[in-house]
Structures are given as C-alpha cells and as structure tokens.
Structure 1
Amino acid sequence: MLAPAALLRPAFGAYDSEAKLQGAVGRALVEYWRSGTSELPAGLTTLVDYWFAWHAIKVAISASSVIVLALLATALWHRYLRARGSATAATAATVVTVLAVGVLMANIQATAVPLVALLPLLSGTTADGRLAQVVSEIRERLTTSADPQAGSGALAVLLSEVARYHWVLAAVSATLLVALGLAGAQFWKRRTTGGPGATRVGVMRRTLGVIMILTACLLLLMTAASVVSALQPATALLDALGAG
C-alpha cells in the first residue's frame, strides 16, 4: 500500500488520501452519469489511469511476494526432507504462498478493469446529495427498466465493464484451478513411497496434495461465483455501488 502511494504521488498527488480519492470518484461518477454519453469524462479517465497504475504496481509487488514465498516454502520442504527442518514451518510457508496468490489474483483483476475496481470506494461512505441521487437513479433503472441500457451510454459502459471485470477473475481462477487440481491429484496419488526417508516424503506429498486440492475447491467456488456475476452484471454493479 505504501509503495504505490509513494511512486504515484508526484503525478497523482490529488488522490494522496482515501477521503480525497473517494470524493474524486463520487464527483466523477456524477459527472459521467449526467453527461449522457458513453465517453469517460476527463476526471474519471484520470482516476482510471491512477487506479490502473496503482494496481499494476501492486501486481509487481504481489508477484514478487509469490515467488519469494514459493522459494521459501521449497527450501523449508527440502530442509524437512533432510531432517533439518519442521513440517509445520514448511506447511505454513505453503499456506502463506497460497494467500499471496489470492492477493495477486485480486490485483490482476483490478488492473485489467480499473473502472469497476474504483466503484467499491463509494460503498459505506457518506454520499453527498448528488451522488446519492445518481446511485438511486442507477438502482431504479437497473431494477425497474426492461432495458436499462437504453438511452444511457454510461450505464451500458458500466455494465459491460462489470461483466468484463468478473470474466477476468473467472479466467484467472479457472486456470489456477486446473493447474492446482492436477498438481494436487499427482501429489496425493504419489503420497506413499518406499526407500529411505519414505515417511517424510509421504508427509510432504500428502500435505501439499491436501493444500492444493482444498485451494482448487475454493477456486472452483470463486470461478462459479465470477461467472454468475459476469452473467448478471446489473446485480454485480449494484453490489459494487453498495446499492444492492
């Protein structure tokens, strides 16, 4: 969180606090909705550029963290196999690596579709009158209109971007689901072995197999939820705005 703020402050100093960023997003959404066109206004374009750069930096940090933690987990498992380390420490490093992958996935999603990633900043904040009215108008159009996109270029863009936002996460999680599912199945299949150190090798393979299979199950749920959200962008947009 500190690195993106420090690196982007020279170019985007107007957003150097959460309150300023939330206020800017609210004003930009009001301007966009009132414009009646699909083209993003200058203020919202600047915010999208800022949020893209913010999360791109976080992607680099998250990816580096995943690599470092994966190397640490590998080293700890090697120490365990040589009877010089603890299986608990190696397991903990593996679990933390999985959590780091989750952070990386979230940042990839936000980098791919920064416009939608900005919207949750409005949720839970005290909206001024104009913003509250715009959110209410969006909610009314989405819940009562037979064709909510008709006559509103802004809403059409928002719905399209929301769908793309969730399709990105569905694609990333599905890819990891297949990879971890296959790897976990292989580890579990080979959990018993003979020869010196067979017990330690078995413990390592069983542990890694369980972690990967459980993670694959979570990814399956995430993929399914993302697909549902992508197919129902109106509901997902209302949730992002805190108007569901």
Structure 2
Amino acid sequence: MGLVPVHKVAAMGKDRLSSRFVIGLLSAAGAALVAAFVLGPAALLGSEADLAGAVGRALVEFRQSGGSQLPAGLKDLVDYWFEWHAIKVVITSFMLVTFGLLATAWWRRYRRGGAGCAVAAVGASVLTGIATAVLILNIQATVVPLVALLPLASSDGSETLLGPAGSPAQTVLVGEVERYHWVMVGVAGPALVVAGLISALLWRRRVADDARVFVARRATSVVAGLMASLLLLVVAFSAYSAVEPADALRGLLGLG
C-alpha cells in the first residue's frame, strides 16, 4: 500500500472540516456554549436574589467604615463576581474557537457551494468577532471584579456611595477604576493589532483565477476591519478613562 501524498492528506482534512456533519456539530456546540454562557454561572454559583441592592449596601458600608480595607460583605461579592466572570472567560474562549472553526468551515464550503454558504460564513465570522469582544470584557471584569460590580449599584443615592473626595473608600475605588481601564487597554490593544493586520493582509492578498477565494478574503477582511475599528474606539475610551479615573468612577455609578 503506497503512501498518500501530503497535499492529498491536507485536502482530505479540509473536506472533513467543511462537511455537513462537522458544520452541524460546530453549530450545535456553538448554541450549547451560548446557553452555557447565559445559564452556566448561575447554575454553578447560585444567583443573588438582590445583587444590585447588596452591592449598594456593601458600598455604603465600605464608605462608612472609614478605612481602605474592603468589608467582609463587599469582599464576598467581589469574590462571587470574580468567579462569575472567570466561568464566562472559560466558556467564551471555547465559543471563540468554535465560531472561528465554523467560519472557516463555511468559507471552505462556499468555494464548492452556493451564495448561501457565503452568508452563513459571514454570519459565523461576525459571531467570532462578537465572541472576541465578549471575551475581552469578561477578562477585564475578572481581573478587576470590584469595578465590574459598580454599575449594578442603584443610581438612587449613588452620591452617598462615593463619600467625600479623598476619603479612603473613594481613593480605593478611583485606583481600581484606573486599573480596570488600563486592563482593557492591555487586552484590547493586542487584539486591535491582530484584527488590523488580518484585515490589511487579506485585503491586499490577491488570488488569480479564483473569484470565490477573493470574495471570502475580502469579506473576512471587512469583518476584521470593523472589529479593529471598534477596538480602536474601546482602547481610546479606556485610555482616556484611565487618565481621568474619578470621572470614570462617577460614570460607572450613573452620576454623569
């Protein structure tokens, strides 16, 4: 029995990835991961009946303590929110891989199929971009869960959550808000570079006598370019917020 040429083995692998069975399996896995993202953290950790109220009361307790150490109630909430978003980071990482493979499979099928495959491929590419954005947001919330809790606090009486300027509690919160936004810059910045490079390389690369490959690369380039543009806005906003953390803190608490 002779050896199968390497290029034929690679082609067989590509055909399997774009088979109906694999596409169906990836689609089912993607749907299951979306459901796990929505329901998983509460199923594993339990849900707080009045999380917003608990956060507001814990912040008031922190302000009234007069110290810089988080009170036990607030620390428990921070630990809970860390675990909540850490679970979502794991799930979203699998979502990113799954939707990325699904987009690749649909684009490969498009080379042999109809225009409907291109629509499905664009949709899967968009889902890959959304999964990337959600992953970045959850990484940020996992690294600085205290700040990720702040928007949950009721806007009613939020001024009382801050306390006087320069108080220990406000100093801690301002410092955490600054770190929160620098984390976003650190995570979204490299993603911006990668998305921009993918967009530029796919747009410039030309394939002779293969219109379908050309369409696939141009469409992926556009999706990557839109993702890079969004990330650029996020990085710019986060950098500004990190430089002005006191204003960012007021914004997170709904105080304008």
User: Could you say which TM-score interval applies, normalised by the shorter chain?
Assistant: 0.7 to 0.9
Give the secondary structure class of the aligned counterpart of 1:172. helix
8 Å Cα contact 2:140/2:180 also seen in 1: yes
Residue in structure 1 matching 2:128, options 93, 97, 102: 97
Amino acid at match of 2:153: L
8 Å Cα contact 2:158/2:253 also seen in 1: no
Q: CA deviation at 1:91?
A: 0.6
Corresponding residue number in structure 1 for 2:81:
51
The 5 A counterparts of 1:1-244 are 1-9=38-46, 15-17=47-49, 20-83=50-113, 86-124=117-155, 127=156, 131-132=157-158, 134-135=160-161, 138=163, 141=164, 148-149=165-166, 152-190=167-205, 192-195=206-209, 198-244=210-256
- CA distances 1:121-152 after superposition (whole Å, capped 9, x unpaired): 0145xx4xxx55613x64xx4xxxxxx32xx2
8 Å Cα contact 1:52/1:110 also seen in 2: yes
Amino acid at match of 1:96: L
Any runs of at least 4 consecutive aligned residues in structure 1 with deviations exceeding 3 A, and if so which? none
Q: CA deviation at 1:214?
A: 1.8
Change (3 A) 1:82 1:133: closer
Amino acid at match of 1:35: S
2: distance between equivalents of 1:30 and 1:226?
A: 27
Amino acid at match of 1:204: A
Corresponding residue number in structure 2 for 1:145:
none
How many residue pairs match? The answer is 218
Corresponding residue number in structure 1 for 2:10:
none
8 Å Cα contact 1:123/1:240 also seen in 2: no
- CA distances 1:94-117 after superposition (whole Å, capped 9, x unpaired): 011101111111111111100001
Amino acid at match of 2:125: T
The TM-score, its normalising length taken from structure 1, stands at 0.85
Q: CA deviation at 1:48?
A: 0.3
2: distance between equivalents of 1:118 and 1:214?
A: 29
2: distance between equivalents of 1:49 and 1:204?
A: 44
Give the secondary structure class of the aligned counterpart of 1:193. coil
2: distance between equivalents of 1:218 and 1:165?
A: 19
The percent of aligned pairs where both chains have the same amino acid is 52
Gaps of 5+ in 1: 10-14, 142-147
Q: CA deviation at 1:213?
A: 1.4
Amino acid at match of 2:40: A
Amino acid at match of 1:57: I
The TM-score, its normalising length taken from structure 2, stands at 0.81
- CA distances 1:16-70 after superposition (whole Å, capped 9, x unpaired): 32xx111211111011001111100111100000000001011111111111111
2: distance between equivalents of 1:229 and 1:123?
A: 22
RMSD, aligned CA: 1.5
